[in-house]
Amino acid sequence: MQRYLLEISYDGTQYFGWQIQPNQKTIQGELTEKLSFLLSEKVNLIGCGRTDTGVHAVQFFAHFDSKKIINIESVKYKLNNFLSPAISINEFFTVSQDFHARYSAIARTYEYWILTKKDPFLIEKTHFCLKPLDLDLFNIGAQLLLGKKDFTSFCKSRVDLKNKYCNVLESRCYKTKNMLIFRIKANRFLHNMVRSIVGTLIDFSYKKIDKNELKRIIKIKDRKESGFSVPSKGLYLMNVEYPKNIFSE
């Protein structure tokens, strides 16, 4: 049995997220169907996480096992031809059996794209804020998220997890042309976490809440206290990190 790893990019606009759902168009569903057809065997594709409806991925990983010795370049070429233009297979690796696309990951980086000037080419892939945001203030708020904290206040309440602690390694916002890009890196993320953080930081930037209130929201562990959840169309999974020695020769 050989374990294989796919590095994938996708535009999630027309999909109901990564995970297979009954009667819905999903990234995992389309990839599994096409890969199973190409290999003439049922493939169990396991992703590095679960992106929600409409969320995009610049870098996403998924692994599967096969008894076959696969011609990687041939299957990669055919798979890219079979898949929707919205999904790209960037790399195809062999990995050791103890590798797991989700549990072997040590960090993930997301970006949220905020459009500051109306642009017909970007408006469907970003969150448009007509009212100017205070970038300096946004970053003051973003810095308060750094470190290991309980992020219950930024997680959908129905999520049942033993702990909601995440170690945030990077949290900053920068300007590029007519966009503000919020970048956050952590060892793990909770469901809806980035989108609710961005909504709260937008409120902070607009001075709807102050620094003490933002600190209180983080500590209180209550989703009802944090800001609105920004639309999924502006969220991008940018990078997934693994230990350097994880890939087999």
* pLDDT, tens digit, 9 for 90 and up, residues 80-96: 999 999 999 999 999 99
pLDDT value of position 227: 87
- Render 1-41 in DSSP notation, one character per residue: -EEEEEEEEE--TTSS-SS--TTS--HHHHHHHHHHHHHTS
Q: Tell me the pTM.
A: 0.94
Split at pLDDT 50, 70, 90, the class of 68 is confident
Split at pLDDT 50, 70, 90, the class of 249 is very low
pLDDT value of position 156: 81
Q: What's the CA gap between 173 and 15, in Å, rounded?
A: 27
May I ask the CATH architecture of the domain 2-103? 2-Layer Sandwich (3.30)
* pLDDT, tens digit, 9 for 90 and up, residues 110-125: 999 999 999 999 999 9
Domain 107-239 has CATH 3.30.70.660: yes
| Domains of the chain, residue spans | 2-103, 107-239
Residues involved in catalysis: 52
Q: CB within 8 A of 221, min separation 6: which ones?
A: 150, 152, 153, 164
Q: How far is residue 43 from each of residues 27, 30, 205, 225, measured CA to CA in Å?
A: 14, 12, 46, 43
Q: What's the CA gap between 57 and 64, in Å, rounded?
A: 19
* pLDDT, tens digit, 9 for 90 and up, residues 29-53: 999 999 999 999 999 999 999 999 9
107-239 matches 2-103 in CATH topology: yes
pLDDT value of position 159: 60
Split at pLDDT 50, 70, 90, the class of 244 is confident
Lowest mean pLDDT among 28-37, 90-99, 138-147, 154-163: 154-163
Place of tokens 């696969």: 70
pLDDT value of position 160: 65
Alpha helices in the chain (DSSP H): 27-39, 72-82, 135-143, 193-205, 211-220
Q: E-assigned strands of 22-132?
A: 46-47, 56-66, 87-95, 107-115, 127-128
Q: What's the CA gap between 17 and 20, in Å, rounded?
A: 8
